[in-house]
Amino acid sequence: MSKGKVVVLGSNATRIETKGGYWGNTGQYLNETVVPAMALIAAGYEVVLATPDGTPPTIDKASDAPAHFGGDVATYEHGKVFYAEDPSMKARTLRSVLDEGLDNYAAIFIPGGQAPIVDLMQDQEIGEILRHFHEHEKPTAMLCHGPISSVAAMPYAREFRAALIAGDPEKAKEWAQGWQYAGYRMTVFEKAEEKVIEDTILHAKIYFDMPFALGLAGAIVDTGPDFEPYVIEDRELITGQNPRSDHPIAAALIAALDRKRAAA
C-alpha cells in the first residue's frame, strides 16, 4: 500500500530567452527528475508527474548523459527507460491535480534544468499548489533551478519576472511583497555554475541569476561549493543547489515525509 502521493511539478518549456534577443534550447534535467522519483517509489510513495499542459517535460540534452549518473552507464540507461516507460512519468495537467484535491498529496517535488525559469516561476496554478502546501506545512522540495518556481506563490509572480528581465530590481522587489517564502533559508543553482551553462551550452547570458532573484524576493540564499551536493531544509521547504544534489534531496524529502507520517 502506498504511503502517500507526491506530485512532481514539471516544466513544458523548450526555449529560454537570453540577452541580445536570442533564444536557447532548454528543458528539464533527466537525473534531477528520475533519481528522486525512483527513490520515492522505492521508499513506498506514489509519484504523479504534472505539467502546465499535461505533456511530459522535454529532457535537456545537456543532462542526457551518464556523467549525470555518476558515470555509470547502466544507471543512466535505467533512468532513461524509467522516464520513457514508467507509468508515474505519464504526465497530467496541473489543473487535474488541483481538481482532484491537493489534500490527496503529501509532498511536492520540483526538478530543475533551466526550464522552470520560463514557465513554472510565473504559472498561476503552480502558485496555487505552492500556497496550499505552504499553508499546510507539507514537504516542498525543489532542486537546482527548481527553487525559482517558488516565486509563483507571489501575488504578482508574472510582474516580478518581467521586472527582472527588464533589469529593474526595485520594481521587482515591490512586486515580491507578500511572498510566502520571504525569510526562508534556501539554496539554488549558483551564479558561477550558471556561467558554465551560459558559456558552454547556451553561448549567451540569461537575464538574471537565481540567487539574486530569490534574494531580491526576500529569501536568505546560501550556496555551497560549485557543482558539489548541497541541500538546505527550512521548515517545510527543502532545496538542493545543483544536479549533483539529486540523491541528497531525495533522501531529505523521504525523511521529511516519514517524519510527517510518524507525527500524524
Direct distance between the N- and C-terminal alpha carbons of the chain, in angstroms, rounded to an integer: 17
**pLDDT at residue number 55:** 97
Kindly tell me if the per-residue pLDDT of 88 is higher than 90: yes
> Tens digits of per-residue pLDDT, 176-191?
999 999 999 999 999 9
Which pTM does this prediction carry?
0.97
What CATH number should be reported for the domain holding residue 257? 3.40.50.880
Kindly tell me if the per-residue pLDDT of 13 is higher than 90: yes
Residues 206 and 16: beta-carbon distance below 8 Å: yes
**pLDDT at residue number 151:** 98
> Tens digits of per-residue pLDDT, 61-78?
999 999 999 999 999 999
Q: Residue 21 — very low, low, confident or very high, per pLDDT cuts 50/70/90? A: confident
DSSP letter string over 33-55? HHHHHHHHHHTT-EEEEEESSSS
**pLDDT at residue number 1:** 85
**pLDDT at residue number 98:** 98
> Tens digits of per-residue pLDDT, 189-225?
999 999 999 999 999 999 999 999 999 999 999 999 9
Report in angstroms the alpha-carbon separations of 57 from 1, 23, 54, 109, 121: 28, 18, 9, 14, 15
- Distance in angstroms (rounded) separating the CA atoms of residues 4 and 264: 13
Q: Residue 14 — very low, low, confident or very high, per pLDDT cuts 50/70/90? A: very high
Directed axis angle between helix 210-217 and helix 157-165, to 10°? 130
Task: Tell whether the torsion through CA atoms of 197, 148, 206 and 170 is positive or negative.
Answer: negative
Directed axis angle between helix 30-42 and helix 73-85, to 10°? 80
Mean pLDDT estimate for the chain: 97
Count of domains forming the chain: 1
Residues forming a β-bridge with 92? 50
- 171 phi and psi angles, rounded to 5 deg: -65, -40
> Tens digits of per-residue pLDDT, 129-156?
999 999 999 999 999 999 999 999 999 9
**pLDDT at residue number 264:** 84
* 6-10, 19-23, 119-123, 242-246: range with lowest mean pLDDT: 19-23
Strands 237-240 and 140-143: parallel
Give the H or E element holding residue 17.
strand 15-18
Domain span holding position 114: 5-263
- Mean pLDDT value of segment 67-94: 98
